[in-house]
Structure 1
Amino acid sequence: MATVSFRITDELKRELDELSAEKGYHLSKLFRRAIEDLRDTMRHGPDGGAFDLSLKDRLILSNQYRILGSVSV
């Protein structure tokens, strides 16, 4: 298994230590699960499913995006 290293604040480290102790996980398992969840969300969207849009839906969404971009607030 590869090793990754990054910095977090002392406060966040204390909170994560407490959380991992409550869950009965090693801290590395807690990070692994969080990173896997983030990867899945980024890959498949927040609901876990792929974005299935028809061509018509894509065009509508694109036009709405353009319209909203041109509206000044």
Structure 2
Amino acid sequence: MNKLYRSSRNRMLTGLIGGISENLGFSSTLLRIIFFISIFATGGTSLLIYFIAALVVPKESYHADPYTYSADHARGYK
């Protein structure tokens, strides 16, 4: 089972929905639309739950992109 995290690559606000979409394998755009609709359907309760979850769920650990060059991680060819 994959661990839930806030995405650092697929984020709009906190990266929570991006992390959920990467974990479940769904489109992040579809989940964002569903979340936006749920804000009005629940009277804002889902927005409160979103921010509480964003505080609880950890950020994604460092993701090294093998196609970029960084002076900090300059070991070998990237």
Instruction: For CA contacts below 8 A with separation 6 or more, give which structure has more relative contact order.
Output: 2
Shared fold, TM over 0.5: no
Structure having the higher Rg: 1
TM-score where L is the length of structure 1: 0.31
TM-score where L is the length of structure 2: 0.30
